[in-house]
Amino acid sequence: MSSTPPFHETLDLTLCGSMGRVHRLCRDAVTLAVEPLGLTQSRWTAMMHLFHLNQGCTQQELANSLGIEMPSLTRTIKQLEQQEIIARKADAEDKRSKRLYFTEQGLQLLDTLQVIIADVKEHLYADLTTEQLDTMAHGLIQMEQNARQCIRHYSGDK
Amino acid sequence: MSSTPPFHETLDLTLCGSMGRVHRLCRDAVTLAVEPLGLTQSRWTAMMHLFHLNQGCTQQELANSLGIEMPSLTRTIKQLEQQEIIARKADAEDKRSKRLYFTEQGLQLLDTLQVIIADVKEHLYADLTTEQLDTMAHGLIQMEQNARQCIRHYSGDK
DNA sequence: TTAATATAGTTAGCATGCTAAGTAAATATT
DNA sequence: AATATTTACTTAGCATGCTAACTATATTAA
């Protein structure tokens, strides 16, 4: 005899739509804050992930970290290279792969970027408890797994 | 002296990136399952929201429900109209607005769509408790508000 | 060793979100 | 009543994700 339905059900299948919206808004917030640096969302995101991976990783590794496909990254990398924020160097051992490094000015920009992002992050996570954030993070990971399995199921099943 | 940091911190600012990824994957899962119906993500999403809003709403109302801007919707509506799934009828009182209705075959398609989506949804939410889903839904809403405020702050402040 | 397969990266082009700017109708101001 | 503003929608064009198909190199199998 539940009088009120679970809150998430009022969102119905739009929980998924909600994630897309929040994702876009968070990105917009950071991108706005970061605008003076001349960076778009895909570029600052790539920079942050490259920082966490340490320099010298391959494009494939960065794409994995970002959770995007290679062609999506290729475009971004090209832009960051043109802005002389990162540089690509061919791997000596495996001539197919290219390793990514920040340039001097890229590193400087990164510093500023991190300060700004830390600030925005604080705003975005305001009024959310650590427990809440943890639950969300775990839930997202579970849903990601579910979705991947679901996709396998509906495509080839294999 | 906390030995392990909160789980979400291991994701750092990528909690936001996670949402984007999960969102894309969930959509892909549904879109795959729904493929035989000839519907893309934006189209089936619009259909579901139109259903929940009841027919006869304006494009603006549907855009609000979807959480997207009008021009994004215009394109989708046009496609749904060409597929003869929905029909637009000019409002008699306000000649600017157009009201949206399902066609006969649109309604039939909607039935099938709903069955499939209910099935996929079950997979996507598998192993997540009601409490977890509720926490996530609330967290998303809070973050959405934070992000909007943040955006106001960084743009005009006003 | 040669042929088959797999992997890193690119290019081309689609889907879906957006903003900016335009049209036409409704509403508010004077 | 005439003008100015707002609102609903469209069009044009950008940003970022994707898949498919290509090149070049590396690895595996015959």
CATH label of the domain that carries residue B97: 1.10.10.10
Alpha carbon of B148: minimum distance to chain A alpha carbons (Å)? 7
| Residue pLDDT, tens place only, A94-119 | 999 999 999 999 999 999 999 998 88
Per DSSP, A102 falls in state E
User: Same structural domain for residues B111 and B136?
Assistant: no
CB A27 within 7 Å, strand C: no
Residue among A1, A143, A155, A38 nearest B122 (CA): A143
Domain ranges, residue A46: 13-120
Per-residue confidence (pLDDT) for residue B22, from 0 to 100: 83
> Are B105 and B42 found together in one domain?
yes
Domain-located, residue B92: yes
Mutate: best of A4, A9, A26, partner B, most B CBs <10 A: A26
Nearest residue by alpha-carbon distance to C1' of D17: A72
Class of residue B143 by CB neighbours under 10 A (exposed 0-12, middle 13-18, buried 19+): buried
Strand C lies under 7 A from the Cβ of residue B83: no
pTM over 0.95: no
| Predicted confidence band of residue A156 (pLDDT cuts 50, 70, 90) | low
Cβ atoms within 10 A of the Cβ of A66, count?
A: 22
Whether residue B43 is found in the same domain as residue B112: yes
Interface check B53 vs A, CB under 8 A: no
Q: What mean pLDDT, rounded, does chain A reach?
A: 85
- 8 Å CB contact between B137 and A9: no
Tell me, yes or no, whether B32 and B68 share the same domain: yes
Segment A20-65, tens digit of pLDDT: 788 888 888 888 888 888 899 899 999 999 999 989 999 999 999 9
Positions of chain B with pLDDT lower than 70, given as ranges: 1-15, 156-158
CB contacts, 8 Å: A45 with chain B:
17
Cα A155 to Cα A142, A152, B35, B36: the distances in Å are 20, 5, 10, 12
> Is a pLDDT exceeding 70 seen at residue A3?
no
pLDDT given at position B98: 94
The answer as to whether B124 is a domain residue is no
The verdict on residue B7 lying in a domain is no
Nearest Cα of chain A lies from the Cα of B81 at a distance, in angstroms, of 23
Which amino acid is located at A102 in the chain?
F
Mutation target for A interface from B124, B129, B149: give the one with most A CBs within 10 A. Answer: B124
Residue A43's pLDDT is: 94
Give the 3-state secondary structure of residue B102. strand
In a domain, B6, yes or no: no
Instruction: Indicate the helix (H) or strand (E) that contains B97.
Output: none
Yes or no: say if A8 and A77 are a contact pair by the CB < 8 Å rule: no
- Residues A101, A86 contacting (CB under 8 angstroms): yes
Rounded Cα distance, B63 and B75, in Å: 12
Q: Can you read off the two tokens belonging to residue A126? A: 């305001």
| Cβ neighbours of A147 (radius 10 Å) | 24
* Number of domains forming the structure of chain B: 2
Would A67 be classed as within a structural domain? yes
Asked whether residue B105 falls in the same domain as residue B139, the answer is no
Residue B97 shares a structural domain with residue B151 = no
Residue B57 lies in a domain: yes
CB half-sphere exposure, B96, CA atoms < 13 A: 1
Q: Is residue B8 part of a domain?
A: no
pLDDT, position B14: 56
> Which residue would you say has higher pLDDT here, A8 or A132?
A132
B72 and B25 within one domain: yes
